[in-house]
Structure 1
């Protein structure tokens, strides 16, 4: 496969457009094309040669075959949330799945079949009608496909594992245009790789998820003054790993934005916790008490709410169209030296910037490291440092802050990171992320995509490529 796309003859493009069931956009389409190439991170500005918005699986197959036959680089877009902008590629073909949004829920079997253009808000809306949910992230506008293929973690992880631990099967269009079903019983090697290996192995056109009884949760934030960071983070590192699995709380460093928070704390630098409690609501005071004992909260608002309300709580703070730069790491222990670095960088540059430590222990620790492509089953947290602002003039400021923060804390990490929290960082970082599973992933890549057609991602090169 060529590493750069070749110009495609106009007549060939017109034939492709004629045969496509969905829309196909080119630069000469003006506004429609420009709107089609917009993704969540406004820091990314790429210009594909073609954007094929697929309506059906047949459209996806045609697009994959067209790219292969015409030596075009291929990017796959579903929700478009990828921070590194890997949903787009300059001069190549974007296979846009955003129109493929069917969801079917089997409440009796507690399963859902979800197409790749869905967001997690779509899924939550469909499953909540039956008091069910599966593991996803913390922003409901995030796409199902990208989050799942990277591994997926969120409010339900300590109780129900990673998103991939709840994946039952997937329909996949391979590099040669074949449609296959991957599960424990069919193409089990591919199914293993899909669970954390990203978009390296094909275009997933449907996901099958296990659902769990999740309806109303007790959730919300606790903020402490930033001067309490050292004491609260030291307490958190001891408390969280031993908390019951019904208790989820990610640690955060932030600046309090405007509404809906009280005016008197707007602009305050804070550290804190974001809670999700799945147990008896009457027990919440006992759950919160240890956090109150370590330091007096500056603000707290924790109460009962429908699970989809928790899932969408950050949506307004992080709308599409902001500038984003983020870096991640897996963390096993929060050392005193690491906590010192967190305190040093706690003066976040904008109200949307910050640091989160997402727990990935509890149920996520039960599978063996080689049971799925996600090998970091001994990580306690998945850390993300993110610089965010709507003003393009602040791009350099938020990027430099996030990079500096990451460089200071990275030596205290496990070396790899959640692939969905990585920018384009190179093969060494990818190899560190997958550890002992990396060579097996390369073997499976060689089996299903030997020409590395699907390489616009956190790429795992086929074994034959050196």
Structure 2
């Protein structure tokens, strides 16, 4: 069975567009018809490499608007994308056809007694965090508050609270989902359990989530958090410290201490650092950062301090690391078992250094990341409990290649693939030498984090043994593949693509 090519909507009649306008309360913006100062800002994305000039953008005001728009998409066989936070690496929120832009659906309500938050599908993480923090509660969200709830929840979602409470998806209690035929259904442990399984890690493969119900957790709003950066001559000691930080501090904190390594290249020299977060008072947090102070950071007096948790995820503190002209990105990732091979870490840094050296001005703000958080809570959930398949413990190694020139797009995508392939090869060889069979390749979990990837990896590398069940769900909920922007599962393709 061959899937019909979807239209970009450029040939829709005036009558059809007027019918769409009359069916929704929200605004319908049409390329070439709507004012440019209204149309152009709606195309903006965090990753400008994936900006596409959509022919139609619908901004729903209600859930009924979403349903009507989906029915219109189906009637005219349009290419469609879902836009929520627009903060993705691989560009699933963009389309040349029709975009369902949820930015006007951002209401959050918190039930303090039940400890739940109900968030509309266009919310970003910061909306939910702020509403919960106001009453002494906290949701599990990702690293930055600019991320859309839709992407981070359906994609899994890892953040500083994951060591205590699991993935963002693990804290989802229920969702309202708009299906490919326009129907709105509830997905939870009580209703449409199969769909609930699929939207927790399966992305937008099965529908558009119009509303999320999250579990909240009691917490002191204040946490101990900050950055520590080190001079280039401390690189070897920094890399050698990672195993100790993970084993002796992160893993002994009951999930309260997270420590993420990052590295930039400045003037041809590697500048390593740690981003730390401790869910407790400063006097306790100081014990966890002692090894970092002993290592000798560049600015020891400005490292960590007490601050509201919402400030630790505030995108504004990260924006200075991403100057506006550097707005084209590709993310790529893999994992390494503990204890980490310091030799591989050193080779990884050298490889990354060589990549930046090839385009020192264009790639100067690129980052290499070493996530040494405690993943045991995530890994404790059975692999088949949700569609999310990356439930294993290990260090997540990720590269953010960030550049400023459109002509470098194709080259950088290939560079990212080659880089992570080399790192995976080193990990696989190291595991073989240690007698660890098949680890580093796919066994019962993936070796990448699907929210930090270029969007072109093989499905089996993302969904692993859950792929077969996902195909069954796709046949049930979206057999014609309306939803095909984020690792789309083809229900009729049997190969392990």
Measure the CA separation in 2 of the matches of 1:15 and 1:72: 15
Match of 2:388 among 361, 374, 377: 374
Of 435-444 and 314-323, deviating more is: 314-323
Question: Does 1:42 pair with 2:48?
Answer: yes
Change beyond 3 A, Cα 1:201–1:246:
same
Change beyond 3 A, Cα 1:299–1:404:
farther
Q: Name the structure 2 match of 1:250.
A: 260
Change beyond 3 A, Cα 1:101–1:148:
same
Q: Name the structure 1 match of 2:150.
A: 145
Residues 400-411 of structure 1 correspond to what in structure 2 (within 5 A)? 402-411=416-425
Question: Does 1:228 pair with 2:234?
Answer: yes
Q: Name the structure 2 match of 1:363.
A: 377
Q: Name the structure 2 match of 1:19.
A: 23
8 Å Cα contact 1:222/1:297 also seen in 2: yes
Measure the CA separation in 1 of the matches of 2:323 and 2:122: 18
8 Å Cα contact 1:446/1:464 also seen in 2: no
Measure the CA separation in 2 of the matches of 1:354 and 1:232: 16
Q: CA deviation at 1:278?
A: 0.8
Q: Name the structure 2 match of 1:326.
A: 331
Of 224-233 and 278-287, deviating more is: 224-233
Measure the CA separation in 2 of the matches of 1:299 and 1:114: 39
Of 71-80 and 383-392, deviating more is: 383-392
Match of 1:453 among 482, 489, 497: 482
8 Å Cα contact 2:390/2:449 also seen in 1: no
TM-score between the two structures when normalised by the length of structure 2: 0.85
8 Å Cα contact 1:65/1:176 also seen in 2: yes
Measure the CA separation in 1 of the matches of 2:320 and 2:137: 24
Measure the CA separation in 2 of the matches of 1:390 and 1:125: 33
Measure the CA separation in 1 of the matches of 2:243 and 2:396: 13
Measure the CA separation in 1 of the matches of 2:335 and 2:155: 14
What are the Cα deviations for residues 66-123 of structure 1, in whole angstroms up to 9, with x where unaligned? 1111111111111111211110112x21111111001001112211001121111222
Give secondary structure in 1 for the equivalent of 2:383.
coil
Give secondary structure in 2 for the equivalent of 1:324.
strand
Question: Does 1:82 pair with 2:88?
Answer: yes
Q: CA deviation at 1:397?
A: 7.5
Give secondary structure in 1 for the equivalent of 2:74.
helix
Q: CA deviation at 1:391?
A: 5.5
What are the Cα deviations for residues 205-245 of structure 1, in whole angstroms up to 9, with x where unaligned? 00111111231100001222234334332331353153321
Measure the CA separation in 2 of the matches of 1:157 and 1:282: 23
Change beyond 3 A, Cα 1:383–1:134:
farther
Change beyond 3 A, Cα 1:401–1:226:
farther
Q: How many residues align?
A: 453
Unmatched 5+ stretches in structure 2: 428-439
Q: CA deviation at 1:320?
A: 7.0
8 Å Cα contact 1:247/1:278 also seen in 2: yes
Give secondary structure in 2 for the equivalent of 1:370.
helix
Q: Name the structure 2 match of 1:439.
A: 468
Q: CA deviation at 1:382?
A: 3.2
Give secondary structure in 2 for the equivalent of 1:447.
helix
8 Å Cα contact 1:226/1:346 also seen in 2: no
Change beyond 3 A, Cα 1:320–1:88:
farther
Measure the CA separation in 2 of the matches of 1:5 and 1:448: 21
Question: Does 1:417 pair with 2:451?
Answer: no
Unmatched 5+ stretches in structure 1: 257-265
Q: CA deviation at 1:385?
A: 0.7
TM-score between the two structures when normalised by the length of structure 1: 0.90
Give secondary structure in 2 for the equivalent of 1:314.
helix
Measure the CA separation in 1 of the matches of 2:143 and 2:404: 20
Residues 3-14 of structure 1 correspond to what in structure 2 (within 5 A)? 3-5=5-7, 7-14=11-18
Question: Does 1:345 pair with 2:351?
Answer: yes
Q: Name the structure 1 match of 2:433.
A: none
Of 38-47 and 436-445, deviating more is: 38-47
Measure the CA separation in 1 of the matches of 2:320 and 2:252: 30
Give secondary structure in 1 for the equivalent of 2:385.
coil
Match of 1:386 among 391, 396, 400: 400
Give secondary structure in 1 for the equivalent of 2:50.
coil
